[in-house]
Amino acid sequence: MKENEIHTIVGSDVKLTGTIKDTNDIVVHGNIEGEVLSEQNVVVEEHAKVKGPVTAQAVSVSGEIEGTVKAFDKLEIHPSGQVKGNIQTKDLIIHSGARFIGKSDMVSDGGRVDAEDAGPAIEEGEEEQSTEQNSNDDESVVVEVDEES
């Protein structure tokens, strides 16, 4: 994260509902119910909670995400992190102690996020469909992890 670059920060005492998008980084310390979309990085800090889809170039999770995560470059789930939902990324790092419940779709070409042209929040059903399509691709790897079981 570059210094002095204005980015979005959701404070620890904040409860936010709706779509939040930025061309720069989004850092979440509080609670969000809705879509989070960034052209750069999304950082979900410890004790933070996101209920809804998250889309960014890179996503770092130390808190909790309940929803689809699309990280075009990298998704990192830290020891305190928890993701409940399908993920799609090029580079996946899950640290020991982290929790991930859902399908992962490893894509070879990450693509780019365009926060300016972002439409309405992605429906869960639509996301499932695209995951299945990619999973038929020979190059893609589908991993199902359920650490709860």
Q: Please state the closest distance from residue 27 (CB atom) to other proteins, in A.
A: 9
Residues that bind other proteins (CB under 8 A): 4, 6-22, 29-30, 34, 45
Q: Please state the closest distance from residue 16 (CB atom) to other proteins, in A.
A: 4
Q: Please state the closest distance from residue 110 (CB atom) to other proteins, in A.
A: 25
Long-range CB contact pairs, 42-48, < 8 A, 24+: 42/71, 43/1, 44/81, 46/80, 47/12, 48/10, 48/12
Of residues 50 and 92, the one with the C-beta less far from other proteins:
50
Of residues 13 and 117, the one with the C-beta less far from other proteins:
13
Instruction: Say how many C-beta atoms besides its own lie within 10 A of residue 116's C-beta.
Output: 8
Of residues 34 and 110, the one with the C-beta less far from other proteins:
34
- CA 122 – CA 113 distance, rounded (Å): 13
Of residues 64 and 105, the one with the C-beta less far from other proteins:
64
Q: Please state the closest distance from residue 71 (CB atom) to other proteins, in A.
A: 21
> What is each CA distance from 4 to 1, 24, 25, 140, 144, in whole angstroms?
9, 12, 12, 38, 40
Helices (H), 75-140: 124-135
Of residues 22 and 91, the one with the C-beta less far from other proteins:
22
Q: Please state the closest distance from residue 138 (CB atom) to other proteins, in A.
A: 39
Residue with tokens 């850092």: 27
